[in-house]
Amino acid sequence: MADAGIFATTAEVQYKAGANCNSTANAETYINSFMTQAESRINADTLYNWSDVYPTLNIDVKGILKEAASNLAAIYVINYEQSAVGITEAKSRIDVLMFNYQECVKILRQEANRTKVQEA
């Protein structure tokens, strides 16, 4: 099976999720589902459809999208069975990933507003 996401790969999500995650949730099939959900969430949270314009974006914006999507999808992997990692460690990982996701969303909102103004 190939990566189904636009913004990030299965391997990038697995790097972020870290060691000892549930093997079912950390497999490509589940990560593909988590990735498409994360991409939709990013589009909704930033009020801009990055998926539709992805091929035209510069490398820096693509990097921020990759970071945001892999952070959020990794949270879904960890959250699937927090006890596999350990509740305290899982919460710590999720907190770091969510903080970084939220920072990416802030940057993407600014970029979306800039893009909308340029398109007007």
Domains of the chain, residue spans:
10-119
pLDDT tens digit sequence for 33-70: 999 999 999 999 999 999 999 999 999 999 999 999 99
Q: What is the pLDDT of residue 1?
A: 60
Q: Residue 9 contacts by C-beta under 8 Å, 6 or more apart in sequence?
A: 3
Length of the chain, in residues: 120
Give a three-class secondary structure readout of the chain: CCCCCCCCCHHHHHHHHCCCCCCCCCCHHHHHHHHHHHHHHHHHHHCCCHHHHHHHCCHHHHHHHHHHHHHHHHHHHHHHCHHHHCHHHHHHHHHHHHHHHHHHHHHHHHHHHHHHHHHC
CA distance 101 to 98: 5
What's this model's pTM, rounded to 2 decimal places? 0.93
With cut-offs at 50, 70 and 90, classify the pLDDT of residue 114: confident
